[in-house]
């Protein structure tokens, strides 16, 4: 049985129609319709796999990670009480699974490292291309300098579209700490990009 501290206490969050449907699916699975679990896998496989890539940067490892996360979720499904969104509960399992492995490997890299270059204009003149590549490199370097907790907050907030409250559930960090991490990350990234401001037309 998994350590329940890995799963975390649920906190109530707004629930939409899809969340209600997933709550019904969970109830049906626990009532014996185990084959319905594939519907939850289908719904959340891509974002869980994406989190695996964020941590491990390797498709094979990300696939193994995804399978492990869903196996843990299936084994512990009875602990999901429906007071938070299913995705939040699942992402907490994924986060803790990845964090445990990354603490062993020491190799976390933010998914944002390859995406922040999109912040500058994509006009492909030689000058702009050089500036865009330089800006992208600068941001990657800036993100590398962020503490791991900063980076995971940035990833969850910007790339997984999680609210502060959901990040609190997933990571166990207080909301004010999460806000502070994201704000400080933005300040650092803005400083790193300041040299490019107004240069790309």
Tell me which residue of 186, 47, 48 sits closest to 178, measured CA to CA: 186
For the whole model, what pTM was predicted?
Answer: 0.64
From the CA atom positions of the chain, what is the Rg in Å?
A: 19
For residue 177, what are the CA distances in angstroms to 84, 85, 115, 198?
Answer: 20, 22, 24, 32
Q: What is the mean pLDDT of residues 142-157?
A: 76
**Who has greater pLDDT, 46 or 113?**
46
Q: What is the mean pLDDT of residues 36-59?
A: 89
**Who has greater pLDDT, 121 or 141?**
141
Distance separating alpha carbons of residues 86 and 37, to the nearest angstrom:
12
Q: What is the mean pLDDT of residues 56-60?
A: 85
Q: What percent of the chain has pLDDT over 90?
A: 33
Position 195 confidence tier, pLDDT thresholds 50, 70, 90:
low
Which residues, including other chains, have CB under 8 Å from residue 98's CB and lie 6 or more apart?
Answer: 51, 52, 54, 55, 56, 65
Q: With 70 as the cut, is the pLDDT of residue 29 above it?
A: yes
Domain boundaries, the chain: 8-108, 111-201
Q: Which CATH class is domain 111-201?
A: mainly alpha
Q: What is the mean pLDDT of residues 136-151?
A: 69
- 44 close to 90: Cβ distance less than 8 angstroms: yes
Q: With 50 as the cut, is the pLDDT of residue 8 above it?
A: no
Q: What is the mean pLDDT of residues 67-78?
A: 96
Q: With 90 as the cut, is the pLDDT of residue 40 above it?
A: yes
Position 9 confidence tier, pLDDT thresholds 50, 70, 90:
very low
Say whether 57 sits in a helix, a strand or coil: coil
pLDDT of residue 128: 58
**Who has greater pLDDT, 108 or 4?**
108
- CATH number of this structure's domain 8-108: 1.10.1740.10
């Amino acid at each position: 049985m998994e350590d329940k501290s890995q799963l975390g206490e649920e906190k109530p969050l707004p629930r939409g129609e899809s969340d209600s449907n997933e709550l019904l699916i969970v109830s049906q699975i626990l009532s014996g319709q185990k084959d319905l679990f594939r519907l939850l896998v289908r719904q959340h496989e891509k974002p869980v796999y994406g989190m695996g890539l964020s941590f491990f940067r390797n498709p094979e490892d990300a696939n193994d990670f995804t399978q492990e996360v869903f196996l843990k979720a299936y084994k512990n499904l009875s602990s999901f009480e429906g007071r938070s969104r299913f995705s939040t509960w699942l992402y907490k399992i994924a986060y803790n699974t990845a964090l445990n492995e990354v603490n062993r490997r020491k190799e976390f890299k933010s998914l944002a490292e390859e995406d922040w270059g999109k912040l500058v204009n994509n006009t492909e003149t030689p000058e702009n291309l050089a500036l865009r590549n330089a800006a992208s490199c600068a941001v990657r370097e800036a993100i590398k300098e962020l503490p791991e907790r900063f980076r995971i907050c940035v990833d969850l907030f910007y790339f997984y579209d999680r609210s502060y409250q959901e990040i609190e559930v997933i990571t166990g960090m207080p909301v004010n700490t999460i806000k502070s991490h994201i704000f400080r990350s933005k300040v650092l990234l803005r400083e790193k990009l300041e040299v490019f401001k107004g240069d790309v037309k």
